Amino acid sequence: MQPETGGRPATHRRLILATRNAGKIRELHAILDAAGLDVELVGADAYPDVPDVKETGVTFAENALLKAHALARATGHPAVADDSGLCVDVLGGAPGILSARWSGKHGDDRANLDLLLAQLADIADEHRAAHFACAAALALPDGTERVVEGKLEGTLRHTPTGTGGFGYDPILQPLGETRTCAELTADEKNAISHRGKAFRALVPVVRELLG
């Protein structure tokens, strides 16, 4: 697909977020708007001919950069992408980039969660530290790139609690909280989430690179 320029040089006022998740687009839009950045944010659905990128990196940052660069090259516009997962201290940072397919089947949240709990069944509370990690990358069509990161520190419950969120939210209890991420309201979670922190860290990067 040729970069979409409409016969004119591509503008850096449009920013593409590599997602088809409307909630994620709203979250970043609200953050950019609150910072006073006049940027037209659209999702990957605005470019249906651009295929999804395989996450072949070995870190969150590598996967985010792969997606951001691919979208920027294909469209001629700056692009943002993120990658995230759960990192458990006693497992050396696993599941990490394999979080979404820990049980062997991509996107099976319940199977992933059940397998992780089984692996940690004999681990005492004091050794159940974990965090959600997110890397967000901004790439320009000329190859310029920046990566920022965000973390949500916490501990893992022995049993799932709460019906909100997704993935491992029902077992991660943020530090200073008595509830799991799945028990928080959407606004409460966004205020402390790893992705929210990473997106907010993008603000000065967007301001620097997009003016």
Positions marked catalytic: 83
C-alpha to C-alpha distance for 178 and 78, rounded to whole angstroms: 40
Q: Under 8 Å CB-to-CB from 22, ≥6 apart: which residues? A: 43
Q: Which two tokens stand for residue 3?
A: 């970069």
Q: What angle do CA 171, 175, 177 make, to 5 degrees?
A: 75
